[in-house]
Amino acid sequence: MEPLLRMDDVHTHIGQYHILQGVSFEARAGEVGVLLGRNGAGKTTTLKTILGLTPASGGRVSFGGTDVTKKRTHAISRSGIGYVPEDQGIFSTLTVEENMKVAMTRETEETRKKLDTVLELFPDLKTFWKKDGGHLSGGQKQMLAMARAFVGNSKLLLIDEPSKGLAPIIIEKVMEAIQEMKQHTTIVLVEQNFMMASRIGDTYTLIDDGRTVQSGRMADLAGNDELKRKYLGIG
Amino acid sequence: MDLFVNLLVNGLATGMLIFLLASGLTLIFGLMDVLNFAHGGLFAWGAFASVWFYTATGSFFGAIAGAILTGIILGLITEKLIITPVYGNHIQQILITLGFMLVLTEMLKVVFGPNQLAAATPEWLNGSWVFGDIIIIKYRIFIIAVGIAVFTVIQFILRRTKIGLIVRAGVINKEMVQALGIDIKRLFLFVFIAGAALAALGGALFAPYSGVIYAEMGLEFAILAFIVVVIGGMGSFPGSLLAAILVGLAGSFMAYYVPALSLAVNMLLMAAVLIFRPQGLFTAKG
Ligand SMILES: Nc1ncnc2c1ncn2[C@@H]1O[C@H](COP(=O)(O)OP(=O)(O)OP(=O)(O)O)[C@@H](O)[C@H]1O
Ligand SMILES: [Mg+2]
C-alpha cells in the first residue's frame, strides 16, 4: 500500500546552510512514526519541510499520493496535515476558544464533530475556554496545540517533542492523548524520550546530521543497542 | 480655558489624522514585518484625489469616496509591484518604498501640476460653535468623530469577525496561521489595501483642515506615523490610537508653550518609550 506520507532524498537549505542532506521517510496510514535523533539532527526541520515552512530544495515530498514539494504551506495544511510545533505556537493573547477557531475557519459538520471529540479528550480546554492561551500551564498549552491541529480536518498530525519541558505525570497524559488521537488519524512524532517513543511508535526513522541513517519497525530498534548507543547516546 | 480647549481639540484632530496613517502601518508591520515608507505618498494622493473629486462631484462624500477608491487602487498596485518582491528583506523594503514614495510624489506633480492646491471645507462643516468664551471649529470635531468611528469599526472587525481573528493571530505568529491553512499572502494583501484606504482617507480629511495641499505633505505625517507605531507597539491597533493621540496632543501643546521643543518632543517621547518599554506601550506579538 502507498504510504500516506513519503519523503524521498529530501534536501533543505535555510539561508546558505544545507540543513537536510538526504532525508527519506514514510508514514503509513493509521500508524505512529517516530523521528529520532540527537539535538540538532534535523528533526524539526524535517517537519517544517513537510509543511513547506522551510521548503525543500531537492528531493520529493508526497502526501496521499500527490507531490506537495513545491506547494505553499497553507495549501499543504489544507490538504490534511496538522502541525504541533516544538514551541506549541499558541496565540498567547487569544483565548482558548479563539485559538481553536483560527484552525476552524472552514467550519463543517466534520470539524464540529472533531471539536466534540477533542473537548472530550481534553476537558481542561473546556474549563479554560475563555482564558488567554498565554495563561495556560505548559501541559495545557500542549493539549491546546494538539487539539487545534486535530480539529483542522487532519489526516496526518506532525507533533514535535510534545514531552519537552513537562513533568512526568503530564507527559503521561499527553502520551495517552496521542494514543487516543491515533484512533482517528496518522501521526508523525518527534520524541527524544526513547521510553515514550518506543511505547507509542510503530515505526522509527533515525536522523543524524540531516540524513536518514536507519528506519524500521520500532520493535527492532528496541533490541538494537549498538544503534541506540551510536545515534541516541543510550542503551 | 479657551486656549486649553483649542489646543486640546487641535491636538486630538491632528492625532486622529496621524492615527489613520499609523493604524495601517502598524498592522502591515505586525503581520508581515514590512516597513512601508511609501505610506505617506498614499496620504498625499488621498488629499489630491479628494480635491479633484470634490470639484468633479460637488459633494464632500464624493470627495471622500473618491479618495478611498484611489487609496484602494494605489494600495493594490503598491503591494503587488513594490512590496511582494521584497518580502523578508528590510533593507530592500526601505530602499524600494522610499524610492516609490518619491515616485508617488513626483507623479502627483505630473497629474495635478507642481503648485499647491487650495482645498475647501464643505458648507455644513464650515464655521464654529461658540460656548461662552470657548470657540470650537466644527471641522476639527468632525475629524475627531471620523477617527473615533474608524477606530470603532476596525476594532469591531478585529474582535468580532473571522477575518479579524485571523489578522490578530497572524500578527502574533504568522508561521502558525499558515500551518493552520490560512493563505497569509491574501490576508496581507487585504490588510495592505485597507491600510492604504485609511491613509488616503486621512489625506482627504487633512485637505480642508490645512486649506492647502502640496505633493510633499505626506512625508511629515508619515514620519509622525512611524514614531506612533514605535510608541504604540508594532502591530498593536489600540496602541496606534493611543500613541497617535499622545503625539498629536504633545505637538499641539508644545507648539504653543515651548515652541522650540515642538519638533523634538515626539522624538523624545519615542526615545523614552524605547528606553523604558522597548516593545511599545502595547504588545501585539508573543
Ligand atoms: N533558521 C535556521 N538558521 C540556521 N540554522 C538553522 C535554522 N534552523 C535550524 N538550523 C540548524 O539546523 C540543524 C537542525 O535543526 P533542527 O531544529 O531541525 O534540529 P532538531 O533535530 O529538531 O534538534 P532539537 O532536538 O534540538 O530540537 C541545527 O544544526 C540547527 O542549528
Ligand atoms: Mg527540534
Cell triple for A118: 477533542
**pLDDT value at B286 more than 60:** no
Q: What is the pLDDT of residue A172?
A: 92
**pLDDT value at B1 more than 90:** no
Say if A133 falls within a structural domain. yes
Return the top range by mean pLDDT from A108-112, A226-230, B17-21.
B17-21
Residue with cell 522650540: B260
**pLDDT value at B251 more than 70:** yes
Q: What is the pLDDT of residue A84?
A: 97
Identify which has the larger pLDDT, B31 or B263.
Answer: B31
Please name which ligand lies nearest the alpha carbon of A19: 1
Q: How far apart are CA B26 and CA B19, in angstroms?
A: 10
Could you give the percent of chain B with pLDDT greater than 70? 99
Lowest mean pLDDT among A46-55, A111-120, A219-228, B46-55: A219-228
Taking CA atoms, A76 is separated from A34, A72, A82, B51, B215, in Å, by 21, 6, 9, 48, 46
Q: What is the pLDDT of residue A77?
A: 96
Cell triple for A100: 481553536
Q: What is the pLDDT of residue A130?
A: 96
Say if A136 falls within a structural domain. yes
**pLDDT value at A1 more than 90:** no
Average pLDDT value for residue range B125-138:
91
Domain containing A144: what range?
84-151
Say if A197 falls within a structural domain. no
B210 touches B55 (CB < 8 A): no
How does DSSP assign A3-16, residue by residue? -SEEEEEEEEEETT
ipTM exceeding 0.90, yes/no: yes
Q: What is the pLDDT of residue B262?
A: 79
Q: How far apart are CA B78 and CA B84, in angstroms?
A: 9
Total structural domains within chain A: 1
Q: What is the pLDDT of residue B243?
A: 96
Helix axes B39-57, B90-112, angle to 10 degrees: 20
Query: Would you call B172 and A85 a contact, using CB atoms and an 8 Å cutoff?
Result: no
Q: What is the pLDDT of residue B116?
A: 93
**pLDDT value at A73 more than 70:** yes
**pLDDT value at B285 more than 80:** no
Overall pTM > 0.80: yes
Atom of ligand 1 nearest to the CA of A192: 25
**pLDDT value at A8 more than 80:** yes
**pLDDT value at B261 more than 90:** no
**pLDDT value at A221 more than 60:** yes
Q: What is the pLDDT of residue B79?
A: 96
Instruction: Give per-residue pLDDT as tens, A169-205.
Output: 999 999 999 999 999 999 999 998 888 899 999 999 9
Q: How far apart are CA A173 and CA A202, in angstroms?
A: 19
Residue type, B152: T
Lowest mean pLDDT among A17-21, A194-198, B201-205: A194-198
Q: What is the pLDDT of residue A235?
A: 60
Q: What is the pLDDT of residue A46?
A: 98
Minimal-distance CA residue of chain B relative to A92:
B286
Instruction: Give per-residue pLDDT as tens, A120-173.
Output: 989 999 999 999 999 999 999 999 999 999 998 789 999 999 999 899 999 999
User: For all residues of chain B together, what is the average pLDDT?
Assistant: 93
- The number of residues in chain B equals 286
Minimal-distance CA residue of chain B relative to A154:
B180
Distance from CA of B16 to the nearest CA of A (A): 26
Say if A114 falls within a structural domain. yes
pLDDT-derived band of residue A71, with 50, 70 and 90 as boundaries? very high
Residues in chain B within 8 Å Cβ distance of A160: none
Probe site for chain A from B31, B87, B174, B176 (most A CB atoms < 10 A): B176
Instruction: Give per-residue pLDDT as tens, B170-202.
Output: 999 999 999 999 999 999 999 999 999 999 999
Atom of ligand 1 nearest to the CA of A38: 25
Average pLDDT value for residue range B110-132:
93
The CA B270 to ligand 1 mean position distance, Å, reads 36
Residues with Cβ within 8 Å of residue B284, at least 6 apart in sequence: A93, B26, B30, B168, B171, B172, B233, B234, B235, B236, B237, B239
Cell triple for B141: 470635531
Average pLDDT value for residue range A79-102:
96
Say if A192 falls within a structural domain. no
Distance from CA of A89 to the nearest CA of B (A): 6
Q: What is the pLDDT of residue A179?
A: 92
The CA B35 to ligand 1 mean position distance, Å, reads 28
B229 touches B236 (CB < 8 A): no
Average pLDDT value for residue range A62-67:
96
Domains of chain B, start order: 2-276 (1.10.3470)
Say if A139 falls within a structural domain. yes
pLDDT-derived band of residue A102, with 50, 70 and 90 as boundaries? very high
Give the strand pairing for A17-27 and A66-67.
unpaired
Average pLDDT value for residue range B25-34:
91
| Alpha-carbon torsion (B89, B95, B97, B98), positive or negative | positive
**pLDDT value at B54 more than 80:** yes
Residue A86 near chain B (CB below 8 Å): no
Minimal-distance CA residue of chain A relative to B178:
A74
Please name which ligand lies nearest the alpha carbon of A86: 2
Query: Would you call A98 and B165 a contact, using CB atoms and an 8 Å cutoff?
Result: yes
Q: What is the pLDDT of residue B88?
A: 85
Residue A148 near chain B (CB below 8 Å): yes
Average pLDDT value for residue range A25-38:
95
Q: How far apart are CA A46 and CA A205, in angstroms?
A: 11
**pLDDT value at B242 more than 80:** yes
Say if A158 falls within a structural domain. no
User: For all residues of chain A together, what is the average pLDDT?
Assistant: 93
Average pLDDT value for residue range B113-129:
93
Say if A146 falls within a structural domain. yes
The CA A104 to ligand 2 mean position distance, Å, reads 26
Give the strand pairing for A32-36 and A203-208.
parallel
